């Protein structure tokens, strides 16, 4: 296609898009003028029926928990794909053992980066656990807390300890954690099926609103997702790190 034809095509498409966009924007409600019914219903039900003060988490892990099940397994499947592809490549092109020992410290790390990384590790772990277990009370939940927890082993690597990262977060343990998190969420669902008659329906005591042990099964589901997400991210990080540090070259070299 010539440059002129491309420009003509772009002009037509852009004009059409512009018309639809302006038409759509003109029909929007005024800023801050919420007309939905669903949100108001959730606001009314979340605290009284579910004893959860963070309604977004209540929505994710209870009212629409089935959607979250699907999202969780999207992450699980994609990490599985990364592992399958990258490990296959790694086995073929692992560097010789003696060369590897020198590579185990991340030589690019400056003293300041090392000190800072070591300093933030406890903070990351505390914030991560806090956000995972307080999902039903304050903003956050399994996903956000899980990624923060996964940043802990990453900080160990940034502190210049590639090998130490493997000791802090061994592959087998992280894999078991990820699988246990994914399975845990499904088990919570089956608990609802067995004890309450409906998949993912709450079957645990709801507890006092605003307390740590409240919200029934949605708090348990949030912790399961936290485990799954932190495991998934640690696996993905460590596979990428192995590729960048321990494996030389690519598929065709």
Based on the shown chain and the rule CB under 8 A, indicate whether residue 131 belongs to the binding site for another protein.
yes
Based on the shown chain and the rule CB under 8 A, indicate whether residue 237 belongs to the binding site for another protein.
yes
Considering only 5, 24, 31, 70, the residue that binds another protein (CB under 8 A) is: 31
Considering only 144, 202, 214, 222, the residue that binds another protein (CB under 8 A) is: 144
Degrees, nearest 5: CA angle 77-149-151: 90
Q: CA-to-CA distance for 76 and 79, rounded, in angstroms?
A: 5
**One symbol per residue from 152 to 181: x for binding another protein (CB under 8 A), - otherwise; what is it?**
--x---------------------------
Task: Work out how close the CB of 31 gets to another protein at its nearest, in angstroms, rounded to a whole number.
Answer: 6
Based on the shown chain and the rule CB under 8 A, indicate whether residue 148 belongs to the binding site for another protein.
yes
Q: Go through the chain and tell me how many residues it has.
A: 253
**Residue with smaller CB distance to another protein, 42 or 154:** 154
Q: How many residues bind another protein (CB under 8 A)?
A: 27
Based on the shown chain and the rule CB under 8 A, indicate whether residue 147 belongs to the binding site for another protein.
yes
Based on the shown chain and the rule CB under 8 A, indicate whether residue 57 belongs to the binding site for another protein.
yes
Based on the shown chain and the rule CB under 8 A, indicate whether residue 222 belongs to the binding site for another protein.
no
Based on the shown chain and the rule CB under 8 A, indicate whether residue 253 belongs to the binding site for another protein.
yes
Q: Which residues bind another protein (CB under 8 A)?
A: 31-32, 54, 56-57, 131, 139-141, 143-144, 147-148, 150-151, 154, 233, 236-237, 240-241, 243-244, 248-250, 253
């Amino acid at each position: 296609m010539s440059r002129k034809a491309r420009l003509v095509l772009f002009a037509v498409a852009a004009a059409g898009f512009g018309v639809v966009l302006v038409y759509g924007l003109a029909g929007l409600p005024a800023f801050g003028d919420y007309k939905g019914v669903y949100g108001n219903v959730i606001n009314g039900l979340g605290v009284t029926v579910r004893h959860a003060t963070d309604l977004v988490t209540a929505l994710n892990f209870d009212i629409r928990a089935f959607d979250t099940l699907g999202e969780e397994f999207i992450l699980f499947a994609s990490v599985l794909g990364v592992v399958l592809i990258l490990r296959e490549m790694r086995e073929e092109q692992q560097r010789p053992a003696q060369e590897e020992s020198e590579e185990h410290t991340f030589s690019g790390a400056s003293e300041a980066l090392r000190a800072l990384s070591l300093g933030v590790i406890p903070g990351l772990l505390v914030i991560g656990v806090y956000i995972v277990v307080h999902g039903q009370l304050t903003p956050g939940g399994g996903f956000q807390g899980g990624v923060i927890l996964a940043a802990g082993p990453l900080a160990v690597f940034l502190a210049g300890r590639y090998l130490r990262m493997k000791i802090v977060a061994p592959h087998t343990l992280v894999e078991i954690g990820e699988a246990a998190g994914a399975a845990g969420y499904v088990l919570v669902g089956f608990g609802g099926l067995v004890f309450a008659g409906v998949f993912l329906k709450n079957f645990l005591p709801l507890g006092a609103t605003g307390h740590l042990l409240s919200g029934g099964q949605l708090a348990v589901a949030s912790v399961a997702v936290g485990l799954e997400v932190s495991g998934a991210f640690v696996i993905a990080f460590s596979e990428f790190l192995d590729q960048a540090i321990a494996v030389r070259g690519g598929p065709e070299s």
